Amino acid sequence: MTKRKTPPQAEPTASRTLHHVAKPGETRQQLIAKVAAAGMLENAATVQAFGKGTMGEIGITEAVHALRERADAVSKGDLSGAEAMLVAQASSLNAIFAEMARRAAANMGEYLSATETYLRLALKAQAQCRATLETLATIQAGPVVIARQANIAHGPQQVNNGVSSTVRADARAGNSEPLKNELMEVTDGED
C-alpha cells in the first residue's frame, strides 16, 4: 500500500478580526469600549496597514499582542526596545538623507527645481535623524532638572519656590493648622 502525499499546507492568512477574551461578568460592549480606549487596536491596524508591503499580511490580534508586550516592557522600565527602534529609525533617516543629497547633486546645474526639492528632502531627513538621536540621548541620560532658584549659603537657609505654608511646631500633637508666610516689616527701631 502506498501512502498518499499530502500537499504542503499554505500558511494561514492573517486575520482582520481581533480575538480578545472578556473577563468574567464583562459584557461585549464593555470589552469593545475597553479595547477602543486602550489605543492598541488603532495602532495595531496602522502597523498592519503599513507593514503589509514589507512584512506581508499581519494578523490584528498578533499585532495588538506585540504592541501590548512592548508597552508592558516600557512600563516596567525596559526601554531597550524603544532605544533599538530609535537607532534603526535614525539609520533609516540617515540613508534617506544620503540618497536625497546624492539625487540633488546629480541634478545640480541642469535641473535647479529638482535640485532644490531633493536638497529640501535631504535636510528634512537630516533634521529628523538629529531629532531622533537627541530623543535617544534624552532617554538614556534621564530627565534634566531645571532649578528655578539656587541659594548658596553657609549655614541654614530657606528656599521658597512658589506658594507654601508653614505648619505649626505642635503638629505632632494633632494640631496641624497651616500659617501663611508673611513678610516682616522693616522698622527703624520704632515700635
Specify if 151 maps to a domain. no
Q: Are residues 125 and 84 in the same domain?
A: yes
For residues 104 and 111, what is the distance between their CA atoms, to the nearest angstrom?
Answer: 9
What is the pTM (predicted TM-score) of this model? 0.58
Specify if 94 maps to a domain. yes
Q: Are residues 103 and 129 in the same domain?
A: yes
**Given 60, 78, 96, which residue is the final one in a domain?**
78
Q: Are residues 61 and 35 in the same domain?
A: yes
Specify if 171 maps to a domain. no
Specify if 63 maps to a domain. yes
* Residue 69: half-sphere exposure toward Cβ, Cα within 13 Å: 8
Q: Are residues 74 and 36 in the same domain?
A: yes
Q: Are residues 52 and 100 in the same domain?
A: no
For residues 183 and 191, what is the distance between their CA atoms, to the nearest angstrom?
Answer: 17
| pLDDT tens-digit map of 85-137 | 999 999 999 999 999 999 999 999 999 999 999 999 999 999 999 999 999 99
Q: Are residues 86 and 135 in the same domain?
A: yes
Specify if 163 maps to a domain. no
| pLDDT tens-digit map of 155-176 | 776 666 665 444 444 444 455 4
Q: Does residue 10 have a pLDDT over 70?
A: no
Cβ of 85: how many Cβ atoms within 10 Å?
Answer: 14
User: What is the predicted pLDDT for the residue at 33?
Assistant: 86
**Given 102, 122, 141, which residue is the final one in a domain?**
141
Q: Are residues 84 and 126 in the same domain?
A: yes
Residue 59 vs residues 24, 28, 40, 103, 156: alpha-carbon distances, Å: 26, 21, 13, 37, 64
Q: Are 45 and 60 in contact (CB under 8 A)?
A: yes
Q: Which domain holds residue 104?
A: 79-141
| pLDDT tens-digit map of 38-97 | 888 888 889 999 988 888 888 888 888 999 999 999 999 899 999 999 999 999 999 999
Q: DSSP 3-state assignment of 50?
A: helix
Q: Are residues 68 and 83 in the same domain?
A: no
Q: Are residues 72 and 99 in the same domain?
A: no
Specify if 150 maps to a domain. no
Nearest Cα to Cα of residue 48 among 15, 22, 74, 70:
15
Q: Are residues 61 and 84 in the same domain?
A: no
Number of domains in the chain: 2
Q: Are residues 31 and 71 in the same domain?
A: yes
